[in-house]
Amino acid sequence: MQVSRDASNQLAIDPNATERLSSLARSNPKEAIRQVASQFEAILLNQMMASMRSNGFDGEEDSSELGTYRGMLDQQMVNAMVQGGGTGLADMLARQIEGVARIDQAATPAASSGMLPLPALPAAAAKAIRKYAEAAGTATAAPAPVAIPSERQAFVSTLLPHAGQAAERLGVAPELLVGHAALESGWGSRSIRHPDGRESYNLFGIKAGGSWRGESVATLTTEYVDGKARKQVESFRSYPSLQAAFDDYAKLLEGSSRYQRALNQGDNAQGFAVALQQGGYATDPAYARKLAGVAQSLLAH
């Protein structure tokens, strides 16, 4: 099956995909079915790749540049697989939808699908297209905000006063920074501590590179070498207080060309999250969705 290569390249990065697919479906429903099938296959491959990468992952290496390049390589591999013919899943899905369409057209040639006003496309096919088109078009969209459990309210209440100054420097709502800290630290459950039990206040998983002149703490983390996960000791920045942690985080984003698009996003949780992921803060393909979901939940309360 020949599928438009543009469609697969737009997967998970273009929120306008649904609108384009709907437009194509009105003029060429058969091609729309095939493009959606191809995108669904790519979504599945991306999820499989992310699952493989996350085996043993504890979230602490998200800031490494090596992880950034691994994420880029994974995306290229998925695109190459889809454009090269894929695994055959897209072919089977397209044939199944097209087969249902032919059967329904023969039985009720005047029927209309609620989504696509074409008699050749039955409700069953339209439902499948709607489901997978929405999955493709909203792959980077944040999930609906959810209620914050009471045990996490203390975490939020503690951090919000410290996030204000850093948020003002970055031009974003303080809830976005607290949301990022919550995601990176597991709502405080993955605290990095010194051997003597002292807190490092490293809420954002920032490593102590060669330019770091402050105190550091060594801890066990997961790194990927030649595609294989392994545990190794890494050095992380340590701060004297929560305020110092937020100040250094703001300094990191302000001073890096990689994260300039994350600045001045106001309360746009989605824009902030996507900019961080595109800048290489994390390699998890769903990282922007997770971060935006947490941040939007905080903004809603």
pLDDT higher than threshold 70 for residue 217: yes
SS3 266: strand
Flag whether pLDDT at 79 surpasses 60. yes
Least Cα distance to 86 among 45, 51, 53, 139 occurs for 45
Q: What is the mean pLDDT of the chain?
A: 74
Could you give the residue numbers annotated as active site?
223, 248
> What residues have CB less than 8 Å from 44, skipping those under 6 apart?
89
3-state secondary structure of 277: helix
- How far, in whole angstroms, is CA 110 from its chain's centroid? 42
The 10s digit of each residue's pLDDT in 228-287 is 667 888 899 999 999 999 999 999 999 999 999 999 999 999 999 999 999 988 777 888
pLDDT of residue 80: 72
The three-point CA angle 246-141-53 to 5° equals: 75
Strand partners, 220: 233
pLDDT of residue 133: 47
Q: 3-state SS string over 204-263?
A: CCCECCCCCCCCEEEEEEEEEECCEEEEEEEEEECCCCHHHHHHHHHHHHHHCHHHHHHC
The dihedral through the CA atoms of 129, 141, 64, 265 has a sign that is positive
Structure tokens at 190: 């993955």
Task: Tell me the CA distances in angstroms from 30 to 101, 110, 195, 216, one per residue in order.
Answer: 10, 18, 62, 58
Q: In this predicted model, which residue has the larger pLDDT, 217 or 103?
A: 217
Determine the Cα–Cα distance for residues 246 and 158; give it in Å rounded to an integer.
13
Which residues in 176-196 are b (16+ Cβ under 10 Å) and which e?
bbbbbbbbbbebeeeebeeee
Query: 215: pLDDT confidence band, cut at 50, 70 and 90?
Result: very high
Nearest to 155 by CA among 262, 10, 297: 297
Q: pTM of the entire structure?
A: 0.53
Among 54-63, 202-211, 238-247, the least confident range: 54-63
